[in-house]
Chain A
Amino acid sequence: MTDSPVGLHEFNRVVRTTLLVPVTVLAVLAGLLVWQVEHALDLRQHSIVNTRVNDQLLTLQQRVTDQETSLRAYQLTGLPSQLVPYNSAAPEIEATLAQLRNLPAVSGISDAHVNKLEQDIRAWQSWANGVLAQPAPAPEAVTAALTQQGKSIMDGVHHDFQDTLTTAENERDRYDAKLNQRVSRFLQFVLILALASGIIIGIFASSRLQRVSSTYELALQELHERNARITASQQLLATTLESIGDAVISLSEQGKIRFMNAVAQKLTGWPLGAAADHPVGEVLRLMHPQTHQPMGDVLQDLDRSGGMGLHQEGTLIARDGAEYAVDVKVSTVMHADGRADGSVVVFRDVTELRKAEVTLIANEKLAVTGRLAASIAHEIHNPLDSVANLHFLISQETDPQRRSDYLKLAQQELGRTLQISRAMLSLYRESPMPVQVNLEELIGSVLLLLDRKMRDQNIQVEQSFTHPVHVYGFPGELRQVFTNLIANAGEAAGPNGSVRILVRPASPLDGRAGTIVEIADSGRGIAPHVEKKLFQPFMTTKGERGTGLGLWVSLGIVQKHGGTVRISNSTEGDLRGAVVRVYLPERSAQAKAEDEDHDAPLIAPPFESAEEWAFTSTPRAMS
């Protein structure tokens, strides 16, 4: 399918031929007419020549008659004066004869006619000269015989004239008739030609017009169909854009608003009419989700990402001041020929999702609590059991030394109970502000709670701290992370397995300053089909025993602290299971928000292992 309607070319062609054919026919007709007129003019020329010849013949006849009359008068009177007309006519006769001899062929007067005429005239003239050469006779002496001689010669001359004139007239009549006939034939011809041309042009034009009309009809129909298709496609696109749950804003290359769908208008509070041609930053006001500072232009990172979709999250401030948690994605609009034409911003209201995530995180916290509660109950019930038994023994005992021993034991067991209950409480004793956290202490308290579980399974737990490590953060949340990760490692290691916890400062090679906590186990490592989903919520390999939220929440917490979590399968050393590496930056939580404003990349520490999955996405809205 070409760009212009097929009908239009055809239409132009038909119009051109429709114009060309009548013009050609009329030109041919005009040529024929000119030819015919030329011919007629030719015939007319013949007629004119004939008339002139006629005139000349009549003049000659007149002059010859003049000579005859003059001679006769001389003969009768004998007066030489009577010969004046005779003499004056002679040169004219000569001249006229000369002219007749040089007649054009078209005159219809043959040379024979002219010669005969001249011969007879000369005969008469010689006779007349003979008469004149004799002395003038007395008038009475002119005999009838003499006169009769001249008259008979003259009669011959007149007869010649009559003959020639008749011929000339006949000739003229013939030409006239021919001319008339020609003119009448010409008229017929013109009439027929005009009629034929008219009919031909008429038929042709009508057929052409029919084609034009049908072509036009076709073109029109095609145009209608096209219009219908375009309208339908526009309708479909518009309906699609209006129906999707995401908000869509289309931007010009200058970042001005071209189009907003209904969801976008509803979320921003800007009707399209009011928002059109406004810079996107005015309409789509985004705040940083944590700091609540303006986020800047959504387009600014577009160049850096090469026009690919860029994900951002933020808080949208609507025109009426309402706030929505939104996920924003910006991409450059590319034409098929690779030309960029503005960009499109797609965003969605994730307020409910965020709330749900917060609920999920709380659920996980509860699940962790529940799991810990069981182990804590065990830890507390053991000393309590001893204390209760000791209480019985003390009440029965009379020996002071024994009683004192029992009391001491009871004291010791109570102390243990207290220690465990403190560790338990500190898990949820949370300060609203980040504080200095001693990682060694924190991990120690986690291990205390997990100790029973590990010992039940005869799992060896090694820990090594290369130096006293402090980070800045929320201790309760960090404790949740390490409880989760170490418990996972224990479960992965299984009975008689081992878990190694290594805490070391991040080396300059690792990127930014900070701490790395490595938790390695002797399990079977991460199965390939699981690796991609490790950090997704509800991902669990433990069936009904797991909530599937542990890693997801842990990652969220670590990210909140400005750190990263990486999980790989160990390929060296004696522990060939999974290795979880938690990187916590020196300046964490509090400083993180500031860092983000400057778009400081979170440099994840490089790891030596080849198989490694870094997870820096998904969980958000940690509060």
Chain B
Amino acid sequence: MSRVPTILCIDDEVLGLEIRKVVLEREGYLVYTATDGPAGIRIFRQQPIDAVVLDFAMPGMNGGAVAMALREIRPNVPILLLSAYLSLPEEVQNLVTLVANKGDGALALLRNVKRILESSGD
């Protein structure tokens, strides 16, 4: 992989989103952000996104719906779904590559992002 991996972060929590962006950028990723599903999908269509970090609970269109839309565009895009809820419905979990809890810390986030990028295998 010659170029810098590009990550799309979608979360309605603006502050959390910005902080997450800084953490990922410090690790050397190129980060795009969107504060709702439709905006994220738009960016996903326009940019060569390698992985998506997606919040589950969002107004209007939740993480599950966004993941489904992204997978329709690119069926094997790696998606990390972040959730504050302890357990998500199984059908939602099956839509994404990995599910992680919010609040586990930056190291866990970076580890998970790395994991899903590697799992995509290309």
Interface residue ranges, A against B (CB under 8 Å) = 374, 377-386, 388-393, 396, 409, 412-413, 452, 455-458, 495-496
Asked if B28 lies at the interface with its beta carbon under 8 angstroms from chain A, I say: no
Answer whether A393 and B106 are a contact pair too, CB < 8 Å, given A386-B15, A413-B15. yes
Whether the Cβ atoms of A378 and B57 lie closer than 8 Å is yes
Whether the Cβ atoms of B105 and A392 lie closer than 8 Å is yes
Contact flags (1/0) for B11-31 with A, using CB distance below 8 Å? 011011001101100100000
Asked if B79 lies at the interface with its beta carbon under 8 angstroms from chain A, I say: no
Partner of B84, one of A381, A389, A392: A381
Question: When chains A and B are docked, how far (Å) is the Cα of A378 from the Cα of B103?
Answer: 10
Please, which residues of chain A bring their CB within 8 A of the CB of B51?
Answer: none
Contact flags (1/0) for B93-120 with A, using CB distance below 8 Å? 0000000011111110100000000000
Please, which residues of chain A bring their CB within 8 A of the CB of B62?
Answer: 456
Please, which residues of chain B bring their CB within 8 A of the CB of A496?
Answer: 60
CB distance from A598 to the nearest CB of B (A): 51
Chain B CB count within 10 A is highest, among A382, A389, A457, for A389
Shortest Cβ distance from B21 into A: residue: A389
Answer whether A393 and B22 are a contact pair too, CB < 8 Å, given A382-B84, A409-B15. yes
Partner of A455, one of B20, B22, B59, B86: B59
Q: List 9 A-B contacts (CB under 8 A).
A: A378-B57, A381-B84, A382-B102, A385-B103, A386-B19, A391-B106, A392-B105, A452-B57, A456-B57
Whether the Cβ atoms of A378 and B85 lie closer than 8 Å is yes
Shortest Cβ distance from B22 into A: residue: A393
Answer whether A388 and B85 are a contact pair too, CB < 8 Å, given A396-B26, A456-B58. no
Interface residue ranges, B against A (CB under 8 Å) = 12-13, 15-16, 19-20, 22-23, 26, 57-60, 62, 82, 84-86, 101-107, 109
In the A-B complex, the 8 residue pairs with the closest CB atoms: A392-B106, A381-B84, A378-B84, A385-B102, A384-B103, A388-B105, A455-B59, A381-B102
Partner of B20, one of A379, A389, A495: A389
Whether the Cβ atoms of B105 and A391 lie closer than 8 Å is yes
Question: When chains A and B are docked, how far (Å) is the Cα of A384 from the Cα of B84?
Answer: 10
CB distance from B72 to the nearest CB of A (A): 21
Please, which residues of chain B bring their CB within 8 A of the CB of A457?
Answer: 59-60
Please, which residues of chain A bring their CB within 8 A of the CB of B19?
Answer: 386, 389-390, 393, 409
Please, which residues of chain A bring their CB within 8 A of the CB of B104?
Answer: 385, 388
Please, which residues of chain B bring their CB within 8 A of the CB of A455?
Answer: 12, 59
Question: When chains A and B are docked, how far (Å) is the Cα of A392 from the Cα of B102?
Answer: 14
Shortest Cβ distance from B107 into A: residue: A392
Shortest Cβ distance from A392 into B: residue: B106
Whether the Cβ atoms of A388 and B15 lie closer than 8 Å is no
Partner of A458, one of B20, B60, B109: B60
Whether the Cβ atoms of A388 and B106 lie closer than 8 Å is yes
CB distance from B82 to the nearest CB of A (A): 8
Shortest Cβ distance from A376 into B: residue: B84
Question: When chains A and B are docked, how far (Å) is the Cα of A496 from the Cα of B61?
Answer: 11
Whether the Cβ atoms of B57 and A385 lie closer than 8 Å is no
Question: When chains A and B are docked, how far (Å) is the Cα of A496 from the Cα of B102?
Answer: 26
Please, which residues of chain A bring their CB within 8 A of the CB of B105?
Answer: 388-389, 391-392
Chain A CB count within 10 A is highest, among B20, B22, B84, for B84
Partner of A389, one of B23, B58, B101: B23
Please, which residues of chain B bring their CB within 8 A of the CB of A458?
Answer: 59-60
Question: When chains A and B are docked, how far (Å) is the Cα of A380 from the Cα of B59?
Answer: 17
Please, which residues of chain B bring their CB within 8 A of the CB of A385?
Answer: 16, 20, 82, 84, 102-104
Shortest Cβ distance from A396 into B: residue: B26
CB distance from A374 to the nearest CB of B (A): 6
Question: When chains A and B are docked, how far (Å) is the Cα of A378 from the Cα of B85?
Answer: 6
CB distance from B55 to the nearest CB of A (A): 9
Please, which residues of chain B bring their CB within 8 A of the CB of A381?
Answer: 84, 101-103
Please, which residues of chain A bring their CB within 8 A of the CB of B12?
Answer: 455
Question: When chains A and B are docked, how far (Å) is the Cα of A413 from the Cα of B26?
Answer: 21
Question: When chains A and B are docked, how far (Å) is the Cα of A385 from the Cα of B62?
Answer: 19
CB distance from A417 to the nearest CB of B (A): 10
Whether the Cβ atoms of B16 and A386 lie closer than 8 Å is yes
Please, which residues of chain A bring their CB within 8 A of the CB of B23?
Answer: 389, 392-393
Shortest Cβ distance from A377 into B: residue: B84
CB distance from B59 to the nearest CB of A (A): 4
Q: A379-B84, A385-B82, A385-B103 are in contact. List 7 more A-B contacts (CB 8 A).
A: A381-B102, A385-B84, A385-B102, A456-B58, A456-B59, A495-B60, A496-B60
CB distance from B90 to the nearest CB of A (A): 16
Shortest Cβ distance from A383 into B: residue: B16
Partner of A377, one of B20, B22, B82, B85: B85
